[in-house]
Amino acid sequence: MVQDRWRQADANAALAAAGSDPADQALVLRVYTSRLIGADPDLVMHGGGNTSVKVRRRDLFGREIDVLHVKGSGWDLETIEARGLPGVRMAALLELRALPTLSDEDMVNVQRCNLLDCTAPTPSVETLLHAYLPHAFVDHTHATAVLSLANLPDVVAVCREIFGGRIALVPYIMPGFALAKAAAAVFEMNPAVEGLLLVNHGHFTFGNDARQSYRRVIDQVNEVEAWFARGAAARATAPRPSLAAIDVLPTLRGAIAAVGTNDRDAAMPVFDVRAGAEVLSFLERSDLATLARNGPATPDHVIRTKGFPLILPPAVMAGGRAAIASAVRDFAAGYRAYFERQAPRAAQPKTMLAPTPGLAWVPGLGLVGIGADAQAARIAADLGEQTVRVMSDATAAGGFRSIGEDDIFDMEYWSLEQAKLGRAAAPPFRGRIVLVTGAVGAIGRAVVQVFKANGATVFLVDRDGDALERTMTGLGRDAGGVVLDLAVEAAGQAAVEACVERFGGLDIAVSNAGAAWTSEMASLPEATLRASFELNFFAHHHLAQAAVAVMRAQGRGGQLLFNVSKQAVNPGKGFGAYGLPKAATFFLVRQLALELGGDGIRVNGVNADRIRSGLLTDAFIAERAKARGLDADAYMAGNLLKREVEARHVAEAFAALARAERSTGHVMTVDGGNVEASLR
């Protein structure tokens, strides 16, 4: 059941802040209920759905004009504000209705030319439908239950059974002018209806005030849910996953990248796997292959998920790497054929999108959302999960019948829909999955920040669970992480497996975790030296081994980056226990570079010195400075540049090495200049 989230006190508070203009009061309530709708993923998701309110305002000459405030493109109902509902002059929108046809470009142009604020976002592609319904408030959603209903083969009869004559049906037409006119005509045949069911698409409700329209959304969706609950068969208990992500996803990732481009340096897709009980049981269905060819739950999904998922049944998985690659190539061939069949129908020439899937159905593993970065993968996975619920409910109640191939193509290659995906240049690390160890220390955090700021999908590894959680919270929902002590046996493998489970693979491992033990060698206990070797050498080595296995499965190169230390080449008194394993790690960089070049895996390191961190604490700095007769700042700036070196400088060096596509076996010094620590 979807919840009625209306709280009169919240509505009153919004009204109190709105001032006395009735138009502003209506608009704040419009924002309020839009957010209530946006807060429920079973009503709308990821920019789907739109809302509007009709008001009267005065123009600069004092004339009263009718204005439609309607959701602007680029805004999400969950977080919408008043400026996300641009005002459009109604008269111009109403006048358009007399035209027999109207191109999308002309429609958008008229809408933009009649904005009250010329800098406002472009009004929704469904603006005219909102305009042609007479009610003050109009709400359009793609509720999960309504999508189950909207795709039933006998949708007409079932809708009548549930609602009697209270809801009218609008046959499927792509959004835009023609749909707006058709929906308005359906409404005008019976102006007493309380909502419109858009077949294969979604749902409109309306009312004279915000409360009434919102209430109808909730009530009508719940009536549909109740109908499905009555007919639903008891769900089988879910099977347990039978495939391990690490055995499947890196191979799949590489195979998808290979059909997308021949450029081996190009980014690979990022995954988001869903393996809940409902998904896993759905993937065991015997009619899975048929359902996979059935099309989307709503055309709104197509730009993010493609029309059909890639399906990898047990027979394919049993064939291993070659069979997975072949299934992905078949998907791409099918997509190209679809494009070539459909493109000649379009009025303007179309350029084919990447012939790669947006979703994969992998029985025994889960549903895989596929995107250019973690956010796109998450959105695809969310929509994929909703589709699973819709298909499960619809097939239990008579069947799932989506739009056909022509309509799928028209949506996928609709210029107005493509605009939702944005045209901004990709940041340099988009699609790169970057694992950082020691991720909550000063350098680790700086590394995470620099890579994330440049578009990377980041996965954090640290043994400090509380600090990891705090850091992750600051990074938003599209970062991954795991709590692990890398000095423990098999931790490197566990870290890489966790990263693959979260994002499907690994492109850049930044092996940064380290700690210093101080003592003169002459009296150093062997246990201390061994402990230091565990963390400062073996942990790097083990992480590299696990990362290389994944990179080889992906088959598209990769990178290992090591935080070495100037101690590796320029010993400091009492730092032998630290310097010895770091010297081994320094050698490891070159050894790995030599052995992994043929796989396209680049291996580089950074020698940093005197960075304020958990290793070099303020107290320790004070002690060292005093020993040299300096104050702390002079000690920290004791280099050729006479400037303190900060964690962010180290992070920038890692990012620079990551971008240096033809450098391997290189160690970059980040110490402000120190001839004794210079490399040959």
- What is the contact surface with Zn ion in residues (CB under 5 A)? 202
Q: How far is the CB of 395 from Zn ion (least distance, A)?
A: 23
Crossing angle, helix 539-554 and helix 245-260, to 10 degrees?
50
Q: Please state, in angstroms and rounded to a whole number, the distance separating the CA atoms of residues 575 and 54.
A: 73
Nearer to Zn ion, 89 or 301 (CB): 301
Q: Which two tokens stand for residue 269?
A: 């897709």
Residue in the shown chain whose Cβ atom is closest to Zn ion: 202
CB-neighbour burial class of residue 113 (10 A; exposed 0-12, middle 13-18, buried 19+): exposed
Residue type, 587: F
Q: How many CB atoms neighbour CB 351 within 10 A?
A: 8
Q: Please state, in angstroms and rounded to a whole number, the distance separating the CA atoms of residues 127 and 110.
A: 11
Nearer to Zn ion, 68 or 246 (CB): 68
Q: How far is the CB of 300 from Zn ion (least distance, A)?
A: 5
Q: How far is the CB of 179 from Zn ion (least distance, A)?
A: 9
Nearer to Zn ion, 152 or 174 (CB): 174
Nearer to Zn ion, 302 or 603 (CB): 302
Nearer to Zn ion, 299 or 576 (CB): 299
Name residues whose C-beta falls within 8 Å of residue 496's C-beta, 6 or more positions apart in sequence: 246, 435, 506, 509, 543, 546, 547, 549, 550
User: Are the CB atoms for 606 and 645 separated by under 8 Å?
Assistant: no
Nearer to Zn ion, 202 or 558 (CB): 202
Q: Which of 21, 84, 90 is nearest to 51 (CA)?
A: 84
Q: How far is the CB of 70 from Zn ion (least distance, A)?
A: 13
Nearer to Zn ion, 410 or 469 (CB): 410
Q: How far is the CB of 202 from Zn ion (least distance, A)?
A: 5
The angle formed by the CA atoms of residues 354, 359 and 362, to the nearest 5 degrees, is 130
Q: Please state, in angstroms and rounded to a whole number, the distance separating the CA atoms of residues 536 and 647.
A: 19
Q: Please state, in angstroms and rounded to a whole number, the distance separating the CA atoms of residues 336 and 357.
A: 12
Nearer to Zn ion, 170 or 482 (CB): 170
Q: How far is the CB of 8 from Zn ion (least distance, A)?
A: 29
Element (H, E) at 179: helix 177-189
**Tokens 């946006």 — which residue?**
38
Q: Which two tokens stand for residue 108?
A: 């958008």
Q: Please state, in angstroms and rounded to a whole number, the distance separating the CA atoms of residues 385 and 5.
A: 23
Q: How far is the CB of 99 from Zn ion (least distance, A)?
A: 22
Residue type, 123: P
**Residue 602, SS3?**
strand
Nearer to Zn ion, 139 or 272 (CB): 139
* Strand order through the sheet with 601-608: 480-483, 457-462, 433-437, 508-511, 558-563, 601-608, 666-670
Residue type, 87: G
Q: How far is the CB of 50 from Zn ion (least distance, A)?
A: 7
Q: How far is the CB of 387 from Zn ion (least distance, A)?
A: 15
Q: How far is the CB of 140 from Zn ion (least distance, A)?
A: 6
Nearer to Zn ion, 124 or 536 (CB): 124
DSSP assignment of 481-544 equals EEE--TTSTTHHHHHHHHHHHHHS--SEEEE-------B-GGG--HHHHHHHHIIIIIHHHHHH
Nearer to Zn ion, 51 or 511 (CB): 51
Nearer to Zn ion, 202 or 309 (CB): 202
Q: Which of 499, 379, 382 is nearest to 432 (CA)?
A: 499
Q: Please state, in angstroms and rounded to a whole number, the distance separating the CA atoms of residues 600 and 494.
A: 24
Nearer to Zn ion, 125 or 535 (CB): 125
Which stretches of 324-398 are assigned E, i.e. beta strand? Answer: 359-362, 366-371
Q: How far is the CB of 203 from Zn ion (least distance, A)?
A: 9
Nearer to Zn ion, 202 or 358 (CB): 202
Q: How far is the CB of 437 from Zn ion (least distance, A)?
A: 44
Q: Please state, in angstroms and rounded to a whole number, the distance separating the CA atoms of residues 524 and 515.
A: 16
Q: What is the CA radius of gyration of the chain?
A: 29
Bin 489: left if φ > 0, else alpha if -120 < ψ < 50, else beta.
Answer: beta
Q: Where are the alpha helices (DSSP H) in 5-89?
A: 8-16, 22-38
Nearer to Zn ion, 217 or 564 (CB): 217
Nearer to Zn ion, 202 or 369 (CB): 202
Q: How far is the CB of 207 from Zn ion (least distance, A)?
A: 19
Q: Please state, in angstroms and rounded to a whole number, the distance separating the CA atoms of residues 641 and 632.
A: 16
Q: Please state, in angstroms and rounded to a whole number, the distance separating the CA atoms of residues 123 and 625.
A: 63
Q: How far is the CB of 130 from Zn ion (least distance, A)?
A: 11
Q: Please state, in angstroms and rounded to a whole number, the distance separating the CA atoms of residues 459 and 481.
A: 5
Q: How far is the CB of 141 from Zn ion (least distance, A)?
A: 8
Q: Please state, in angstroms and rounded to a whole number, the distance separating the CA atoms of residues 84 and 589.
A: 51
Nearer to Zn ion, 205 or 437 (CB): 205
Q: Please state, in angstroms and rounded to a whole number, the distance separating the CA atoms of residues 429 and 454.
A: 6
Q: How far is the CB of 489 from Zn ion (least distance, A)?
A: 53
Strand 137-141 to 202-207 pairing: antiparallel
Q: How far is the CB of 142 from Zn ion (least distance, A)?
A: 6
How many Å separate Cα 507 from the centre of its chain?
Answer: 17
Residue type, 590: R
